[in-house]
Every structure is written in C-alpha cells, then in structure tokens.
Amino acid sequence: MSGYLMSVAVFVGIWVTLALSLNILTGYAGQVSLGHAAFFGIGAYTSAVLAVRYGQPFGVDFLAAILVTGLAGTVLGLPSLRVRHDFLVLATMGVNFVVVAVFKYVDFFGGAMGLVNIPAPEFFGTTFRGGVPYLLLVWGYVVVVWLVSWYISKTWVGLAFHTIRLDEDAAAAVGVSSARFKIYAFGISAALAGGAGSLYAHFIGSVFPDTFVFVESIAILSMIVFGGVGTLRGPIIGAIILKAAPELLRFVQDYRFTIYGALLVLMMLFQPMGLIGEGSWLWRNLTALFRRPAASQQPQQEVAQ
Amino acid sequence: MNKLRVERVSKMFGGLQALKNVSLETGGEILGLIGPNGAGKTTLFNVISGFLPPTEGAVYYNGHSLHRFRPHQIVRLGIARTFQIVKPFGDLSVLDNVLTGCGMPVYPSWRAFFRRYHTPLTEKAADEILELTDLSAWRDVPASSLPIGLQRRLEIARALATRPDLLLLDEPAAGLTSHEAEALAQLVRRLHQQGKSIIVIEHNMAFAMGLCERIVVLAQGEIIAVGPPEEIQNNEQVINVYLGRSK
C-alpha cells in the first residue's frame, strides 16, 4: 500500500470512530449534536499539550485525552439538559464555537498557529508514525469503539438510551432519569471522540484550531445520517464513504461540503433511515439476498395473487 | 400500606385553575375518577406522579410527602401510571417495551452498564406480564404496529413491569370494544386481588360503575361528590354536571 493510501486509511479509521461515538449520543440517546468536532478537538489538544509541553509519552496522552474529553463532555452536556430538540442543536453548536475560540485565543494552546512537533508514538524504542503499525493502532481503536457501542446496545443503559430518545415522559414513567442518561451519553460519546482526537494529533504531528470547527461537526453528523442513524453498521459505512471519497476523488475535494449537503437532503427525502439503516431499501435487499436466496420469489407471488 | 393522601392540592395554569383544593385519600381499593372533559382528572394524575408540581397543597404516599420527587423517582416508590394518549416506545418490540419497566432496579446505578437486558431471567419476568395482560401473541412485533386497543394494554403491561403498589390508569378503556373493555375490567380486578391499589380515570360511566368500589367526581377542578357507584349515579349534582342538564 502506498503511503498516500495508508494515510487515507488512517483518516478513515479516525472518522469511523468519530461517527460511531456520535452515534451513541445521537443514534442511541436521540440527542442531536452539532458540536462533536469540539470533543474531537479537546482530545487532540489534550494529547498535544501533554506531548509538546510536558513531554509525556503516547500512552499517557491517549488515556488522558479519553479521560479529559469524557469529563469535558459530561460538563458541557450539563447545560444541554435544559434544552431539547432544535435548541439542543443550537447549544451544541455554541459549545463547538466556544471550544474552538479557546484553542485559538489562549496562548497556552498555541493560538492560531496551533501546536506542532507532536512526537510520534514510540513503543520499545520504535516510532509508529505512518506505516502499517499506526494503521493497526487506529483500526484497533475502531474495533474497541465498535465493541463499546455493541455492548451498550445490549445492556440496560442502551435500553434506557432508547427510552429517552423515543419519549422522555414514558421513560420517566418506567423509572429512567433522562437527565442522568443524557449525561452518560454525552460523557461516553465525548470520551470516545477524545481517543480519536489523540490518534489524529499523533498521526499528523500538529494540531490547529481550524480542524475542529463547526463544519467538521456537520460532516460527522452527515456520516451517521448517511449511513444509518442508530445502527452499528451505518456510521461505519457512512464514514468510510464520505471520508474516503473526497480523499480519493480529487475533484470532489473542493465541493466536499456541497456534496455532503446535497446528500443529506437527498437522504432525508428518500431514505431517512440512511443507506443501510433499519428498513432502508439497500439493507432490505441485502438481507433478503443473503438470508434466503431461494425464497426470494415468494413475496412476488403473493403480490401477483 | 400503599396509602395515598392528596391534601388540599391546587394547580394553576396561568389564570386557569385546573385543580381547586382537592383532597382525597385512597388505598387498597379500586377508585374511579370521573368528570367531564377539562375537569382536572389527568392534571391530578400528573401531580400525583410528579410530572407537574402542585401550586398549593401536597401529596403523601405512605406518610411521606412526594414534594420534590421527580417522576422517575416516584415510580421507584411504587406508583406507576399510564398515559391517556398512549406513549409506547414505538421502535421497540412489545417485549422490549415491557422490559423497560423491568429494568427499574438497575437504572439508577452503574450496574446498568454491565448487565444485559435480554437474559432468561428478565425475559421470564416480562413474559409473565405479557401473559397476564394477554399480549404474548404480539411479543416480538414493534409496539407501533399494534392497534390502539393493544397499545393501551401495553401501557398497562409496561406500568406493571415496574412492580407498582399503586397503579394510576388514565382512561384505559377509551377506544376499546365492549368485549375488550370487559377483559380489561377483569384484568384490573385481578390486579386488585393481588393487593394493588388502583385509581382509574374513566369517561365510560357504565365501565366505571361496574369496576370501581368508590368514585370521586371532579368538575372544574373541584371534587363535587365521593361515594360508592350507586350513590354517585343518583347524585343530583353529578347528573347535572355530567349530563349538562339544567334544573
């Protein structure tokens, strides 16, 4: 694999984890957030600051990024408890703007020039920048995030997320505190995005405020909507397609957000459940194809009768 | 045990007085709550279950004030409710809807993160409730695909899953056929026999009269009559209010 394809694969992996982590907040718990890039940024800056200013090794940076971002998500999620729906979207947007402004105007974070010379991860005296090892590291994290998502969907906390997404009053009537579980969702979602931020910072070697702006949040939200909100497969496919396409098809790069926007409108109109979400055209046909190839003619006969 | 006391509760919505100095006491019975539209019946349920704070007065359950308890905490005390406009978790299966109620013991703690909700034990508990409410045949279909009559039953099933001592049913018979309503009445009687206290809001007079041991009549936020069904049926004031008949 060429170095270029390798780095595309690393980026795609990082954005898959971002999409999966937002999916816990938006797909499971139903809290639409347009501020996810802020948590990506907090993770990246935590790692960068620890590495550049305090010379901490990658392992420490990575774990700290997850912890600090999870904590930030919990704290920044608190004001969101008082707002629902459209106003929540606005509040999360606001969080994104504030976080980017802090990166930009506080000297400690390097200002607009960002933080540079973040060392590559080093294990047993070998550096990990680029190449297959880093690719494995990133996709290993993808597997971890997927497993966390999967496990949550199987446990009571996942069921509680479903209840607050579907009806907060009914959720309260079965004993679910929507405030508590929203905070859990914000915390988990942010923590996982923080890990992605750390992997990003150590791969690129530098962080700039402009990477974590509001439009990036839209891009991440587009990925899960495009793939299929709330499923374990949709965000992966959404992130792979929407992240890899602009990287691989040069002419798309300039029109990236135009295409994201157009895709979102089209998906909302024709496939609101996403490309391979539950009940979408593609998913229905795929499952029919693989599950019972012989029985696929049966429904047609019924229609004919 | 499971004694509910509503003490001089008033509720204002801006200039509208939805409840006016309402006091009642119940426990161990099937209590009917009737009254014309806008009488404040559902508002009273909302106050008892913590969805609305009373403007004045207080609600006591087993001697403890429910003041400042949030709805999800009141469920844990053993007061469960259904909604007049049904609120099933549409995307979830009928079984999962009932399981949401079974999960109450784990929701408040960290255990919720590490325990799966589909286990033989939890499914057994939910299946028993589906059996009791006669919903087993629809176990695995999404709740949103059920007709309204079954959705009403699912509301009750979900409330029962929280293992309440006091059950608040908000118009459970609305939109049911007479056959379905009779089955529902039987279910409510059975729950009562199991030792649950029940308050039923009902529009259907015949249904309420046949089911309840005692009836409270609300009109314009005030209790105008309390008593056994026969007495209520012959109460002049109730007839006036309910049928809008002038003297």
Using 50, 70 and 90 to split pLDDT, how confident is the model at A292? low
Residue B222: predicted pLDDT:
92
Higher pLDDT, B238 or B85: B85
Nearest residue, CB atoms, A155 vs list B73, B101, B114 = B114
Residue predicted with more confidence, A82 or A94: A94
Q: H/E element holding B26?
A: strand B16-26
Give me the sign of the Cα torsion angle B214, B217, B221, B223: negative
Crossing angle of helices A178-204 and A131-154, rounded to 10°: 170
Residue with tokens 């199991």: B194
- In chain A, which residues have their Cβ closer than 8 Å to the Cβ of B142? none
Supply φ then ψ for residue A148, to 5 degrees. -60, -45
- Pick from A53-62, A77-86, A99-108, A190-199 the range whose average pLDDT is largest: A190-199
pLDDT-wise least confident of A49-53, A111-115, A236-240 = A111-115
Range name among A61-65, A96-100, A110-114, A220-224 with the lowest pLDDT average: A110-114
Same domain, A210 and A294: no
Do A128 and A260 lie in one domain? The reply is yes
Of A88, A276, A72, whose CA–CA distance to A164 is shortest? A88
**Segment among A76-85, A207-216, A292-301, B4-13 with least mean pLDDT:** A292-301
Same domain, A296 and A203: no
Mean pLDDT on A48-53: 92
Q: Do B214 and B228 touch, CB atoms closer than 8 A?
A: yes
Q: What does the block give as tokens for B217?
A: 């009549």
> In the predicted model, is pLDDT for residue A299 greater than 50?
no
**Residue A160 is nearest to which of B112, B118, B162, comparing CB atoms?**
B112
Whole-angstrom distance, CA of residue B18 vs CA of residue B10:
7
Residues A299 and A161 in one domain: no
Q: Mark yes or no for CB contact B107/A154 under 8 Å.
A: no
User: Best of B82, B107, B117 to disrupt the A interface by mutation (most A CBs within 10 Å)?
Assistant: B107
Q: Which has the minimum average pLDDT: A70-79, B150-159, B202-211, B214-223?
A: B202-211
**Torsional class of A117: left (φ above 0), alpha (ψ -120 to 50), beta (otherwise):** left
Q: Are residues A181 and A108 in the same domain?
A: yes
Which of B207, B199, B97, B100 lies closest to B153 in space, CA to CA?
Answer: B97
- Mean pLDDT of the A67-78 span: 93
Tally of CB atoms within 10 A around B60: 15
Task: Please report the ipTM that was assigned to this predicted complex.
Answer: 0.91
Within this chain, do residues A195 and A304 fall inside the same structural domain, yes or no?
no
User: How many structural domains does chain A have?
Assistant: 2
Average pLDDT score over residue span A84-95:
86
**Same domain as A241, residue A183:** yes
The minimum CA-CA distance between A123 and chain B, rounded to whole Å, is 32
The predicted model gives B77-83 an average pLDDT of 95
CB contact under 8 A, B87 and A157: no
Q: Measure the N-to-C terminal CA separation of chain B; round to a whole number of Å.
A: 43
Cα A184 to Cα A25: distance, rounded to the nearest angstrom: 9
Kindly state whether residues A248 and A289 are assigned to the same domain.
no
Q: Say if residue A295 is in the same domain as residue A270.
A: no
Nearest-Cα distance to chain B for A74, in Å, is 16
Domain span at residue A140 reads 3-274
Query: What does the pLDDT average to over B10-15?
Result: 91
Among chain A residues, CA nearest to B106: A156
A15 in the same domain as A145: yes
Q: Which two tokens stand for residue B129?
A: 């409730």
Question: Does B49 sit within 8 Å of A174, measured CB to CB?
Answer: no
Same domain, A11 and A144: yes
**For chain B, what is the mean pLDDT?**
91
Tell me: do A228 and A305 sit in the same domain.
no
Q: Which residues of B touch A (CB under 8 A)?
A: 49, 51, 70-73, 75-76, 80-83, 87-92, 96, 99-101, 103-104, 106-108, 111-118, 158-159, 161-162
